[in-house]
């Protein structure tokens, strides 16, 4: 009986390690895996171990592949950034995920590749954002997928 428990524990630990290792640093899943799972993520910006650098005056494009645990009839995107201890919402030019993916409902356990861009205004301060979270929210207001990453906003020619 003890051997079976050990095998079960090792299997659970292996699955946990695989799930945690799917997203490459500095990307992290910030939603519960009970609602959905982010399989991979990327941005059109240089990323190091500490943060990704978004340059003022350019479009920051995030792309991620996800799958849902429940069917979703309506999904919208929301971006929130934590600067210091304060959350700030960023406006997306198109937050209707269903429109961008060709229609809803989104199916259970089907991989979807989603991308959207937002303009990094030259008027934004040069700042390190502790955590930028990109949420997908269903029609009932529930978070169905989320990816987060630390970001530095800076001038293109800056050595920050």
Q: For the segment 96-113, what is each residue's pLDDT rounded down to a tens digit?
A: 999 999 999 999 999 999
Number of domains within the chain: 1
pLDDT at 12 over 70: no
**Contacts (Cβ under 8 Å, ≥6 apart) of 68:** 35, 36, 106, 107, 108, 109, 110, 112, 144, 145
Q: Which domain holds residue 117?
A: 25-154
- Cis bond leading into 105, ω under 30°? yes
> Could you give the maximum distance between any two Cα atoms of the chain, in Å?
64
Confidence of residue 4 (pLDDT cuts 50, 70, 90): very low
Please state, in angstroms and rounded to a whole number, the distance separating the CA atoms of residues 109 and 132. 26
Q: For the segment 109-158, what is each residue's pLDDT rounded down to a tens digit?
A: 999 999 999 899 999 999 999 899 999 999 999 999 999 999 999 998 75
Residue 74 lies in a domain: yes
What sign does the CA torsion over 17, 20, 24, 26 have? negative
More confident residue, 23 or 45: 45
Please state, in angstroms and rounded to a whole number, the distance separating the CA atoms of residues 117 and 94. 9
Confidence of residue 83 (pLDDT cuts 50, 70, 90): confident
Q: For the segment 32-74, what is each residue's pLDDT rounded down to a tens digit?
A: 888 899 999 999 999 998 899 999 999 999 999 999 999 999 9
**Contacts (Cβ under 8 Å, ≥6 apart) of 25:** 49
pLDDT reported for residue 81: 92
pLDDT reported for residue 21: 39
Residue 160 lies in a domain: no
pLDDT reported for residue 158: 58
**Contacts (Cβ under 8 Å, ≥6 apart) of 101:** 112, 114
Confidence of residue 91 (pLDDT cuts 50, 70, 90): confident
Residue 71 lies in a domain: yes
Please state, in angstroms and rounded to a whole number, the distance separating the CA atoms of residues 106 and 74. 8
The three-point CA angle 134-45-76 to 5° equals 20
In contact, 114 and 96? CB cutoff 8 Å? no
Read off the CATH number of the domain in which 44 is found: 2.60.40.770
Residue 76 lies in a domain: yes
Residue 20 lies in a domain: no
């Amino acid at each position: 009986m003890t051997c079976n428990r050990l095998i079960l524990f090792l299997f659970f630990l292996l699955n946990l390690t695989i799930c945690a290792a799917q997203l490459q640093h500095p990307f992290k899943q910030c939603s519960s895996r009970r609602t959905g799972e982010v399989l991979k993520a990327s941005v059109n910006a240089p990323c190091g171990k500490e943060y990704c650098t978004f340059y003022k005056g350019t479009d920051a494009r995030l792309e991620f592949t996800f799958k849902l645990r429940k069917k979703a009839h309506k999904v919208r995107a929301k971006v929130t950034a934590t600067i210091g201890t304060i959350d700030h919402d960023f406006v997306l030019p198109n937050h209707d995920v269903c429109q961008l993916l060709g229609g809803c409902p989104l199916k259970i356990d089907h991989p979807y590749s989603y991308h959207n861009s937002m303009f990094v205004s030259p008027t934004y301060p040069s700042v390190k954002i502790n955590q930028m979270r990109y949420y997908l929210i269903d029609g009932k207001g529930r978070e169905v997928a989320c990816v987060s990453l630390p970001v530095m906003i800076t001038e293109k020619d800056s050595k920050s």
